[in-house]
Amino acid sequence: MPTESQSPHLPFGDNTHAEWYGKDILSVKQFSRADLEYIFGVAHEMRGMVERVGTFDLLKGKILANLFYEPSTRTASSFMAAMQRLGGSVVAINEVKYSSVSKGESLPDTIRTLECYTDVIVLRHPEVGSAAIAAEAAEKPVLNAGDGVGEHPTQALLDLFTIFEELGAGKVDGLTITMLGDLKYGRTVHSLARLLTLFDVKLNYVSPEILRMPKDVMDEVSAKNIPQTEYTTLEEVLPETDVLYVTRVQKERFENPADYEKVAGSFVVNPEIMKAAKQEMIVMHPLPRVGEISPDFDTDPRAAYFLQMEYGLYVRMALLAMVLGKA
Ligand code: ASP
């Protein structure tokens, strides 16, 4: 582990007794507004460091296990890049079929194995609650990188960081946020809707009838007195929207492929439709997109989805540094 004198340029100290040291990140429900300010402050510092020096030695000597039981491009690669930019290294298992999982090994046993070799575990798994099971089995911190249709807390953090950076940190209160697409199976919107209840926002949900926001998420939102309304067309809410959060229809979660065919392509955001939206607003998407946002909208200044993935790097750097006691 580097000492401060070996790393004189780092704006971070050794905080191994700090609040986040050794913590799991399983659900957005664990965060307060003060936590968000802290995380985004660190993420902001990380951005500055990446821009100035690229890679630095904050987590030198530390190893991340990146364990992915479901496909991923951005989450897996941004966690790997985050660890490497902090001077640490990565054991990546993203083809579990080549690991002992294919021999029938249980999740707790796989987790116990990986924590013998590494300092922090990032897990994506198809079952709701899997990250909590992993955290129960592990002494080391576990970060939930998506548990089935449950939650995707690090995505919600980077989504909110994007809103802070693009629309102004002080401006989240008062925003109208419209979530569009597959609200039933989309874990990113489940986490983001819950996280936004820390602010004084208005939520609109636009989806086909069979892909409505789940009742448990809506109940949690209304328990926090956040206004939320469901719609089946975008046109009626687009003009008042400050953040349009578009999602993909999650084909892999459908039991009946015929149901997918009925709703695939229900909504397409394109320059023509966006004429009805404000000039000062942003369009977000966790990606991958499969036709919900037409590529000819990408050059519009309101398109924030590529920035969003960049901000994910800084947020994940912040989280790794925090749970490893270095921020
Ligand atoms: N990449 C996001 C997720 O893992 C969104 C998606 O797959 O549609 O949930």
Taking residues 52-62, what's their average pLDDT? 97
Higher pLDDT, 125 or 170: 125
Tokens standing for residue 20: 């986040």
Give the binding-site residues of ligand 1, using a 6 Å CB cut-off: 146, 152, 187-188, 248, 250, 286
Distance 286 CA to ligand 1 centre (A): 6
Band of the pLDDT at 100, cuts 50, 70, 90?
confident
Ligand 1 atom nearest the C-alpha of 186 is 9
What's the residue count for the chain?
A: 327
| Statement: the pTM of the whole predicted model exceeds 0.85 | yes
- pLDDT value for 17: 60
Q: Which residues face 261 on adjacent strands? A: none
User: What average pLDDT score do residues 213-234 get?
Assistant: 98
Six-digit token pair at 290? 């499969």
Give the pLDDT confidence of 234-282 residue by residue, as tens digits: 999 999 999 999 999 999 999 999 999 999 999 999 999 999 999 999 9
Q: Which of 17-21, 191-195, 252-256 has the lowest mean pLDDT?
A: 17-21
**Mutate which of 124, 143, 151, 152 for ligand 1 pocket (most atoms within 8 A of beta carbon):** 152
* Domains of the chain, first to last: 4-151+311-323 (3.40.50.1370), 153-309 (3.40.50.1370)
